[in-house]
Chains A and B, each alone.
Chain A
Amino acid sequence: MFKLFVYSLFFTFISLIVFNQIISHEIKDKVRELNNINYSLKKEKNKEILLKTDWVVRTSPERLQKLSEKYYPQLRLSPSKGENIEFINQEIEKN
Chain B
Amino acid sequence: MVNLKKNKFINVKVSAGNDLSFLFEDSHKKNSNNQNDLDKISLSRERVHLAKFLFIFIFAIFVVRGTSLAIFPGDILSKPNKIISNSIKNPLPEIYDRNDKLLATTIETKRASIRNPVNPEETARMIKAVIPDLDKDALLNKLENKSYVEIADNINDIQYYDILNSGVAEVEFHSVWRRIYINKQLASHIIGYSGRDLIGLSGIEKTIPKSKILHEDIKLSIDISVQFHLEDQITKGIELYGAESGFGIVMDANNGQIIASASLPTFDPNIINKNYANNTVKKSTFNQVFQGSYELGSVMKIMTLAMGLESSQIDLNDTFDDSTCIKIAANRCLNNYRNQNSENLISSVDCLVRSSNRCMAQIAIKVGRESQKSFLQKVGLLDEYFLEVHETGSPILPERWTDNSMITISFGQGLSVVPLSFTSSVAAMVNGGYKIQPSLNYYNNSKKENRVIREDTSKKTIYAMRQVVKHGSGKKADIKGYAVIGKTGTADIPCNGTYSGCGNRTSFVGAFPGWDPKYVILVSYERPKENPSRGIMGESSFHNAGPTAGEIIRLIAPILNIEYNVDKEIENPQKDILKINLIKENSL
Contact of A53 among B107, B225, B232, B562 (CB under 8 A): B107
Inter-chain contact B562/A35, CB cutoff 8 Å: no
Interface residue ranges of A42-91 to B (CB < 8 Å): 42, 45-46, 49-50, 52-53, 56-57, 60-62, 65, 79-86
Q: What is the 8 Å Cβ interface bit string for chain B, positions 545-588, against chain A (1 contact, 0 not)?
A: 00000000011011100101100000000000000000000000
> What is the CB-to-nearest-CB distance from B77 to chain A, in angstroms, rounded to a whole number?
14
Inter-chain contact A31/B186, CB cutoff 8 Å: no
Inter-chain contact A56/B102, CB cutoff 8 Å: yes
Asked if A38 CB lies within 8 Å of chain B CBs, one says: yes
If A35-B83, A53-B107 touch, whether A82 touches B558 (CB-CB below 8 Å) is yes
If A16-B66, A52-B102 touch, whether A38 touches B558 (CB-CB below 8 Å) is no
> What is the CB-to-nearest-CB distance from B331 to chain A, in angstroms, rounded to a whole number?
53
User: B442 — which chain A residues lie within 8 A by C-beta?
Assistant: none
Inter-chain contact A31/B562, CB cutoff 8 Å: no
User: A82 — which chain B residues lie within 8 A by C-beta?
Assistant: 479-482, 554, 557-558, 562, 564
- How long is the Cα–Cα vector from A9 to B66 in the complex, in angstroms? 12
Interface size on B, residues (CB 8 A): 44
Asked if A12 CB lies within 8 Å of chain B CBs, one says: yes
Asked if A7 CB lies within 8 Å of chain B CBs, one says: no
Inter-chain contact A39/B80, CB cutoff 8 Å: no
B contact patch SS: mixed
Q: What is the 8 Å Cβ interface bit string for chain B, positions 73-88, against chain A (1 contact, 0 not)?
A: 0000000101111011
User: B87: nearest residue on chain A (CB-CB)?
Assistant: A42
If A9-B63, A82-B481 touch, whether A53 touches B182 (CB-CB below 8 Å) is yes
Contact of A16 among B70, B107, B480 (CB under 8 A): B70
Contact of B564 among A9, A16, A19, A86 (CB under 8 A): A86
Interface residue ranges of B230-289 to A (CB < 8 Å): 232
- How long is the Cα–Cα vector from A6 to B56 in the complex, in angstroms? 8
- How long is the Cα–Cα vector from A13 to B84 in the complex, in angstroms? 34
If A31-B83, A81-B558, A86-B481 touch, whether A19 touches B70 (CB-CB below 8 Å) is yes
> What is the CB-to-nearest-CB distance from B93 to chain A, in angstroms, rounded to a whole number?
12
Contact of A65 among B56, B232, B480, B554 (CB under 8 A): B232
Contact of A35 among B70, B84, B184, B565 (CB under 8 A): B84
A-B contact count (CB 8 A): 96
Inter-chain contact A42/B88, CB cutoff 8 Å: yes
User: B558 — which chain A residues lie within 8 A by C-beta?
Assistant: 79-82, 84-85
If A49-B107, A50-B107, A53-B107 touch, whether A38 touches B83 (CB-CB below 8 Å) is yes
Contact of A52 among B87, B105, B480 (CB under 8 A): B105
If A38-B84, A82-B482, A86-B564 touch, whether A61 touches B225 (CB-CB below 8 Å) is yes
> What is the CB-to-nearest-CB distance from A66 to chain B, in angstroms, rounded to a whole number?
11
A contact patch SS: helix
> What is the CB-to-nearest-CB distance from B173 to chain A, in angstroms, rounded to a whole number?
15
- How long is the Cα–Cα vector from A23 to B67 in the complex, in angstroms? 13
User: B555 — which chain A residues lie within 8 A by C-beta?
Assistant: 79
Inter-chain contact A42/B84, CB cutoff 8 Å: yes
- How long is the Cα–Cα vector from A31 to B76 in the complex, in angstroms? 13
User: B225: nearest residue on chain A (CB-CB)?
Assistant: A61
- How long is the Cα–Cα vector from A79 to B229 in the complex, in angstroms? 10
> What is the CB-to-nearest-CB distance from B478 to chain A, in angstroms, rounded to a whole number?
13
If A42-B88, A62-B228, A82-B482 touch, whether A35 touches B183 (CB-CB below 8 Å) is no
- How long is the Cα–Cα vector from A80 to B558 in the complex, in angstroms? 7
- How long is the Cα–Cα vector from A38 to B87 in the complex, in angstroms? 9
10 further A-B contacts with Cβ under 8 Å, apart from A61-B186, A81-B558, A82-B480, are: A9-B56, A12-B67, A20-B66, A42-B84, A42-B87, A45-B88, A49-B105, A53-B180, A53-B182, A82-B557
A: which residues have CB within 8 A of B? 5-6, 9, 12-13, 16, 19-20, 23, 27, 31, 34-35, 38-39, 41-42, 45-46, 49-50, 52-53, 56-57, 60-62, 65, 79-86
- Which 6 residue pairs spanning A and B have beta carbons closest together? A82-B564, A61-B228, A80-B558, A86-B564, A38-B84, A56-B182
Provide 26 A-B residue pairs closer than 8 Å at the C-beta atoms, listed in order of the A residue: A12-B63, A13-B59, A13-B63, A16-B63, A16-B70, A31-B83, A35-B82, A38-B83, A38-B84, A38-B85, A38-B88, A46-B108, A49-B106, A49-B107, A52-B102, A56-B102, A57-B182, A60-B183, A60-B186, A61-B228, A62-B183, A62-B184, A79-B229, A82-B557, A82-B562, A85-B558
